Structure 1
Amino acid sequence: MTTVTDHGPGQGSRAPGGPAPEGHGHPASPGPYGRARTRRAGALAALRLSLASLRTHKRRFTGTFAAVLLGVSFVAGTLVMGDTLRASFDTMFGNAAAGTDAVVRSDSVITTAGNAQGTRQPIDTGVLGRIREVPGVAAAEPSVEGMGQIIGADGKPVGGQGPPTLAGNWIDDPELNPYTLAQGRAPARSGEAVLNKGAARRGGLHIGDTTTLRTPDPVRVKIVGLASFGGQDGMGQVTFAGLTLGDAERYLMPGKDRAASIQVRASEGTGQQELVNALKPVLPKSAEAVTGQRVAEEDQEMISGQFLTLFTSLLLVFSGIALLVAVFSIHNTFAIVIAQRTRENALLRALGASRRQVLGATLTEAVVVGLVASAAGLAGGIGIAAGLQALFPAVGFPFPEGSLVVSALSMALPPAVGVLVCVSSALLPAVRASRTAPLAALRETSAERTRVPRVRTLAGALLAAAGAGTTVLGAAGDPRSVWLAGAGAVAVFAAFLVLGPAAASAAVRVLGRPVARLRGVTGALAQRNALRSPKRTAATATALMTGVAVVSLFTVFASSTKATMDAAVSRSFAGDVAVSAPAFGAGGSGLSPKLASRVEALPEVSTALGLGKGVARVEGGGKELTVADPARLRDVLQLTGVHGSFGSLGTDGLAVSADEADKHGWHTGSAVELAFTDGDRERFTVRAVFDRNELAGDYVIGRHAWQPHRTQDSDTLLAVVFADGVAPEDGKAAVSEAVRPYGGPSVQTREEYAESSAAGIDMMLTLVYALLALAVLIALLGIANTLTLALHERTRELGLLRAVGQTRAQLRAMVRWESLLTAAFGTLGGLLLGGFLGWALVRAADSAGTAAFELPPGRLALVALVGVAAGLVAGLRPARRAARLNVLRAVASE
């Protein structure tokens, strides 16, 4: 009788009287060349076996293939789209600035946290005559630029919710003008304007139409021409209105003979740097000359660099989440396949295959699946980018009309990521396969342990306690630490993975009881099947748990952010209605400062106060200033903890928040130097300290103190208090009618204004849900694939159930309920994990300690419903396949 023994690593198996195992020094053992040939033969045999297994069992890897394909497609599409957009912007700005060789501008610029580009003081155009006399200068023209929002034919502003809305003078020199006249003519008289084609199309405006340009004072203009920018209809969603030089100075500058910059063209044979060097001696100390190439690069970085970096980074983050979900699905597939091939791998070991060869054979399957799926994913990503190229122009985004731009990195990285994800996911199952003992070939079946080791449960519990403690310490400690909370969150996630099998057993027992009562024997069988292998159930649910956790995290964070913003406005604003429009920082033109007096003249209004914005350098850093009439500020804002008097600010007084005062050691009477963009430095006295108010900001300055340093003046908010006895609806209607000639800004009650301040959160959350749908889809495919493999493993069992009377409908229901229980466990775990991590993120990001934490029950219930429904959908196809099994063949199968 032949016996088979497991000799451990590097040792083979031996029958009595047969050749000695390799490496034992037996005289009959082959020499080194023979051993090498044996190893090569074994490796080739293992490779052929792997490829044959893939061809024979293609359906086993359907879910793995789909997961890799979807993840790689997302990554490839993002990279190709980024390459193409970047090339488009580079070409656009290059064409627009091709004729400008030098730019003269003020060297005084102040950047703030809300404006990374900074605010630059206008330059005196009196230097224009000296510039034109410099040798090497062929032409020089002033470029007046400011904010100007176009009102469309429907009476609504065009743009302004992010992209800049620009206005300026139309430069007659075509080489110095970044815009090119496409239709009509240039403005020749006051009141005429040229619009970029994209803005005119979005606003429903045509040549000959008259519309309003909000600068922010309303200006009636007649459209006489349409222009393009760098060969495109415009610079993305940016709008532009070109006016005469006189109109541009009147509406966009603080005074006559002021311009944002002076554009200079060199004569033939003069280089850009040479021109800059020639200009420097004739410029005042407050001005600088830079090459046109540098300005073009700054514009590219501002529009394309920052935007594209944020845009592509966001998409790549969600691609990473989808691939993380794919890792769990792929790992589970390989783990089940390896478990089902225990006897096959044991026979290989018994026939002389080494552990390394079995490991290599399994990883070869992963590499082949990864390569094929990644190649398909790369093609799919290019297809996605091509689809977006056709879609984006429909929404006004400047996607180029030419060929897609694909870099070497975009071609190489996605497939490499796909193969790496596939191989790394299969590594642990492959190692487990290589450790299969030859003796396992004698077993009838390969059973998995149904009980979870206590050591694993204990380790998971300790890891969970440590992770939760670290997260709470980082999120709620003083001071808060985002990094500490993040490290704790990673530990908590790892603990969920370790505790998965134990949690799966407990959850399925609890969740399965009502199913068993509702469906009887069918429900009880579904519960037992889910309990049969807690490790497998947990691994199957982990992919869905990860997706649901990320969705829940963003849902909780967005809801808490919205609640925080609502609370901030509610506790800051004391008026009856708020008149608002997108301000400079948000791309709009803001409100006219003249609007406050017009509204306050209404009999329904007792107080109307405009709040504007300014910038100054305080203690070396750029700060935003709130510009208002300080004496009346407390009539419209809820200011608390005030020390000193707002009414005494005058033209040299300053009110600061208590946070800033504590930071710098200021108190009432302290002297503070403010440096403005026009180069002036003035000493102000702190005359009031107050608890920080979100609408008042950290620094408040009087309007008369700000007036000498302003550029284009505007308000960001007009707070209105009704007269005694005026009904809210009557007051709101009167204010709405009064502001209509000023471009129709929004008029909202306190509650409406608080809600609209957080309106962008819902838009962001919708985008997040759309992007995370890919991760949920991959998780759904993982559940379906796992069920299919598990049913294949239980073919004989299913046949016996059918043989003893189970109907096809009952079999389908059993499989669907098993899928539902698995999905319910994953969804429940994801909700708990996402809710906890959402709380941690809200607290860790709340440096001021004012954030509100809110669990949105409606949205989370919807997430739970979608998660459970995904499990139900995932079980439909496996249930149908199981019900179609031939009973006799199923019973006879091994």
Structure 2
Amino acid sequence: MFRRAFRSILAHKARFLLPTLGVVLGVAFVVGSLLYGDAVKTSVARAQARAQADVAVEVQPSLLATPLGDDVVQQLHAVPGVAQARPLADGYAFLVGKDGAIVGRSERAGGVSYDPGRYPLSAGQAPTGRDQIALDEFTAERAGYQVGDQVRVIVNGAAHQVKVTGVFAAEDPRLAGGGTLVAFDLKTASAQFSPTRGGYTAVDLVAAPGVSQDAIAASVRATLPPTFDAETGASLNSAPSDDKLTDILLLFAAVALFVAIFLVANMFTMLAAARARENALLRAVGASRRYVLRSVLAEAAVLGVIATVLGYVLGIGAALLLNRGFSVVNGPDVPLQVFSAGALAAALGVGVGVTMIAAYVPARRAAATPPIAALRAGLAPTAKSLRRRNIIGVVVCLLGAAITAAGIETQELIYLGAPLLVLGLIVLTPWLSLGLTKLLRGPLTRLSGMRGTLAVENTRRNPRRTAATAATLMIGLSVCAAVTVGIASVAAKDAKETETGDKADISVTAIAFSELNSGTTADIAKVPGVSAVSPLTPVSIKLEEDKFLNLTAVDPGSAKDFLPLTVKEGSLDKLADGIAVSTATAQRYDLEVGSEVSGPIQVLGAADQAVSLPVVAIYDAPQSADQKALISVQRAPEAATPQTILVKAAPGQDPAALRKQIQQTLANPVLTVQTKAEAAEAASSEAESFLNILYALLSVSVLIGALGVVNTMTMSTLERVREIGLLRAVGLGRKQVGSVLRWESVIIAALGAGIGLIAGCALGAVGVLSQKGVSLVVPWTQLGVFVLMTVAIGILASLWPARTAARTPILTAIHTDTE
């Protein structure tokens, strides 16, 4: 049976080529995602393990406000089984490059206390004093710094001019994720990074020979109060379980494989029709239905194995590309293991599974061929009624539409209703194709004469085949349209709110994981042309054990002048004596004017005095303003630092010119200074970048869909060689034959694009309407690009079949047996 399958595949190489390529692309997507994800996790875990190879237990305060000083270090050193207690201090330190920008990823900009055991020097000497640092080798190379250079480092929002005294080797999870390491001496690091300023952020314990990590951890917990956490080295060095990037990549790979199922199913359906007489002969000489079924599934299995092997090889290349692409943004390449048992098992399951699932229904139809069919010279498959399929499609569509519509109020329902709606449309596509092609007949006949009529009738001849081919494009384009509408609508809302809603002319914001220096507000206020400034400081009130109310501390006197708030109840004039909350926050916490909010005020987990404050106002605010609740800045803890500073320009002062003056005054690359227009443009640019990433991920699905159109046109041309020869014999020229095939291809592609874009826009609209305060925006330009892309796919898909058909000699074509 498998020998026959191999012979069949070799005999029909051209027919199997494109479907196999579709599965290969899907398998490669899966393998590349898994290999790269495994490499990242392994690299991070290995870096963590090597960085803390001798650490048995790490002790940290459970609350940032808990002091961890020399007294605690002495207690830990006295714990039985501890050979060494090694204090350390780390936090965020941003290295400024020669171009004035931050080196590496800001969220992984590590500042550490230098430890010769963990960071062995490769050049220079260890840092001593506040004006000296050491850099890791990769950061020094990337930034172009060497021992003796004067550089700028930003810590706690303040820029410091320091000297590079050493370069060290390091394997650290932050470097694996594209970060940097800036090392200070222990005294300097503890003064900068410890919340208690002078203490430590953690203490690493080294075990004496023969003492287990668990035993030391238990002793530490018995020695120290519960305000300290003790974590074993094994727990610290375990591989990260959260792998969102791999999950996202696999989600798009699943979409591509779903499209590939239609491509393979269409190929086996057409192949079964072409080999109907062959299957009938097998039945006539004694082969059972089960044998025919198994023989077709054997072909699918062989095809799946071939696709798996090729897909795995291509997946290695995809993983290398991902590795190189992310290394440009993140940092050094991660070590890639080209063989992974998990990735190979997934590739086999996906490659063989997809082809066999796709081939099962065509195989059953092939097995049902009656033996008497072998006596017929030309066997045309009987077209089955679409009635049952249409009923099922309508029911699934209505159910999906109802659930999706309900998602406007309950957003989670969209994730259930949208797939059902798309599935229903796929089931209904044969019926929809008949109706839509009927509408196209008149315009195409007027535009292209008999060639247009022939093209329309050929697509109507087998609506199931047309539908299966169109579905390969429909799925990818529907997802593209949905995300385009959704992101365009949200981006337009954010840009509009930023440009028209904000009362401030300029905003100064610290990048992620940085902060504004305490003197930044005063520096901005001194800039000529500044009318007023208002710092916004994030704090929180701990209501219960795991329940917090996040607030923004503001100057009560300037809140109304700077923030785009519409007071619904109460008054902001009383903010000095209480808190104000947004309508959404009031609903979430069941608050109203007069309600008491009690608990300790916190900054990044560091608790301050407990308060009990009444709600004095409830307001509406734009979502982009992110002002969920307000409190007077006078009540913020001393450790609180602003995250944003709002600036108003003096009357007649150009905001753009003032922005440049502020930027020059601050000269701090961790601060983003923007006018309202620039902030709106940045929001749009961010949305566009996100869309481009999604398009790149969806391009595999669209490519497989295009292969589906090429495959259908190619196999359809091979089936109709004699028919095309007869058309040539009665006067249809080569160019006219090519024109007919091009129109067929464009019609099929247009069907898939039309249904997909309409469905995608509808789903995107529902998603937009489920978001409070977001208005629907239809990005006609992007949708127009999709339409042009579809026409191009249709034309390109017809080139090879049209060329083949046009070059076939008339007499050869007439005498061809299409079986």
Q: TM-score, normalising length from structure 2?
A: 0.92
Give the C-alpha shift of residue 53 in structure 1: 2.8
- Residue 421 of structure 1 is matched in structure 2 by 354
Aligned pairs, number: 810
- Residue 170 of structure 2 is matched in structure 1 by 229
- Residue 77 of structure 1 is matched in structure 2 by 32
Q: Is the 8 A contact 1:155 1:744 kept in 2?
A: no
Give the C-alpha shift of residue 98 in structure 1: 1.0
**Residue 332 (1) aligns with residue 257 (2):** no
**Residue 88 (1) aligns with residue 43 (2):** yes
- Residue 35 of structure 1 is matched in structure 2 by none
Q: Is the 8 A contact 1:512 1:527 kept in 2?
A: yes
Secondary structure of 1:234's match?
Answer: helix
Separation (CA, whole Å) in 2 of partners of 1:144 and 1:656 = 37
**Residue 500 (1) aligns with residue 429 (2):** yes
- Residue 370 of structure 2 is matched in structure 1 by 437
Separation (CA, whole Å) in 1 of partners of 2:783 and 2:340 = 41
2:715 to 778, 789, 795: 789
Q: Deviations over 1:563-584 (max 9, x none)?
A: 2433443465210111223132
Q: Is the 8 A contact 1:639 1:690 kept in 2?
A: no
Separation (CA, whole Å) in 2 of partners of 1:631 and 1:458 = 66
Distance 1:644 1:212, change over 3 A: farther
Secondary structure of 1:190's match?
Answer: coil
- Residue 9 of structure 1 is matched in structure 2 by none
**Residue 365 (1) aligns with residue 305 (2):** no
Q: TM-score, normalising length from structure 1?
A: 0.85
Separation (CA, whole Å) in 1 of partners of 2:473 and 2:236 = 49
**Residue 476 (1) aligns with residue 416 (2):** no
Secondary structure of 1:574's match?
Answer: coil
**Residue 890 (1) aligns with residue 813 (2):** yes
Q: Is the 8 A contact 1:199 1:240 kept in 2?
A: yes
Separation (CA, whole Å) in 2 of partners of 1:784 and 1:379 = 24
**Residue 617 (1) aligns with residue 542 (2):** yes
- Residue 525 of structure 2 is matched in structure 1 by 600
> Superposed, which structure 2 residues align to 1:743-822 within 5 Å?
743=669, 745-757=671-683, 759-822=685-748
Which amino acid in 2 is paired with 1:603?
Answer: P
Give the C-alpha shift of residue 692 in structure 1: 4.7
Give the C-alpha shift of residue 145 in structure 1: 2.2
- Residue 778 of structure 2 is matched in structure 1 by 855
Distance 1:367 1:228, change over 3 A: same
1:682 to 607, 610, 614: 610
Which amino acid in 1 is paired with 2:149?
Answer: D
Distance 1:92 1:551, change over 3 A: same
Q: Is the 8 A contact 1:325 1:543 kept in 2?
A: yes
Q: Is the 8 A contact 2:569 2:619 kept in 1?
A: no
Separation (CA, whole Å) in 2 of partners of 1:122 and 1:442 = 93
Larger radius of gyration: 1
Which amino acid in 1 is paired with 2:393?
Answer: G
Separation (CA, whole Å) in 2 of partners of 1:337 and 1:51 = 15
**Residue 657 (1) aligns with residue 585 (2):** no
> Superposed, which structure 2 residues align to 1:17-32 within 5 Å?
none
Separation (CA, whole Å) in 2 of partners of 1:743 and 1:121 = 32
**Residue 244 (1) aligns with residue 174 (2):** no
Q: Is the 8 A contact 2:45 2:173 kept in 1?
A: no
Give the C-alpha shift of residue 524 in structure 1: 2.7
Separation (CA, whole Å) in 2 of partners of 1:497 and 1:696 = 41
2:491 to 542, 557, 562: 562
- Residue 629 of structure 2 is matched in structure 1 by 699
2:394 to 461, 476, 483: 461
Q: Is the 8 A contact 1:126 1:257 kept in 2?
A: no
Distance 1:130 1:758, change over 3 A: farther
Separation (CA, whole Å) in 1 of partners of 2:33 and 2:706 = 23
Secondary structure of 1:546's match?
Answer: helix
Separation (CA, whole Å) in 1 of partners of 2:183 and 2:553 = 29
- Residue 530 of structure 1 is matched in structure 2 by 459
- Residue 142 of structure 1 is matched in structure 2 by 87
- Residue 800 of structure 2 is matched in structure 1 by 877
Moved more, 207-216 or 410-419: 207-216
Which amino acid in 2 is paired with 1:138?
Answer: A
- Residue 77 of structure 2 is matched in structure 1 by 132
Separation (CA, whole Å) in 1 of partners of 2:608 and 2:738 = 80
Distance 1:700 1:145, change over 3 A: farther
> Superposed, which structure 2 residues align to 1:185-204 within 5 Å?
185-204=125-144
Separation (CA, whole Å) in 2 of partners of 1:68 and 1:762 = 30
Give the C-alpha shift of residue 870 in structure 1: 1.5
Give the C-alpha shift of residue 255 in structure 1: 4.4
- Residue 205 of structure 1 is matched in structure 2 by 145
Q: Is the 8 A contact 2:67 2:196 kept in 1?
A: no
Distance 1:873 1:337, change over 3 A: same
Moved more, 138-147 or 314-323: 138-147
- Residue 40 of structure 1 is matched in structure 2 by none
Separation (CA, whole Å) in 1 of partners of 2:803 and 2:135 = 61
Separation (CA, whole Å) in 2 of partners of 1:256 and 1:49 = 78
**Residue 355 (1) aligns with residue 310 (2):** no
Separation (CA, whole Å) in 2 of partners of 1:279 and 1:69 = 54
Q: Which runs of 5+ in 2 are unaligned?
A: none
Q: Is the 8 A contact 2:132 2:164 kept in 1?
A: yes
Secondary structure of 1:138's match?
Answer: strand
2:650 to 709, 716, 723: 723
Which amino acid in 2 is paired with 1:410?
Answer: A
Give the C-alpha shift of residue 728 in structure 1: 2.7
Q: Is the 8 A contact 1:349 1:438 kept in 2?
A: yes
Give the C-alpha shift of residue 487 in structure 1: 3.0
Distance 1:345 1:167, change over 3 A: same
Separation (CA, whole Å) in 2 of partners of 1:874 and 1:270 = 69
Distance 1:266 1:744, change over 3 A: closer
Give the C-alpha shift of residue 744 in structure 1: 6.6
Percent identity, please.
32
Separation (CA, whole Å) in 2 of partners of 1:419 and 1:253 = 56
- Residue 342 of structure 1 is matched in structure 2 by 276
Give the C-alpha shift of residue 212 in structure 1: 2.2
Distance 1:859 1:182, change over 3 A: farther
Separation (CA, whole Å) in 1 of partners of 2:560 and 2:59 = 43
Secondary structure of 2:146's match?
Answer: coil
Q: Is the 8 A contact 1:182 1:226 kept in 2?
A: yes
- Residue 319 of structure 1 is matched in structure 2 by 253
Moved more, 716-725 or 271-280: 271-280
**Residue 411 (1) aligns with residue 378 (2):** no
- Residue 4 of structure 1 is matched in structure 2 by none
2:211 to 270, 279, 283: 270
- Residue 835 of structure 1 is matched in structure 2 by 761
> Superposed, which structure 2 residues align to 1:163-202 within 5 Å?
163-171=107-115, 174-175=116-117, 177=118, 179-202=119-142
Q: Deviations over 1:369-397 (max 9, x none)?
A: 11222122122223433454566545443
Separation (CA, whole Å) in 1 of partners of 2:617 and 2:549 = 17
- Residue 279 of structure 1 is matched in structure 2 by 220
Aligned-CA RMSD value: 2.7
Which amino acid in 1 is paired with 2:213?
Answer: Q
Secondary structure of 1:631's match?
Answer: coil
Which amino acid in 2 is paired with 1:421?
Answer: V
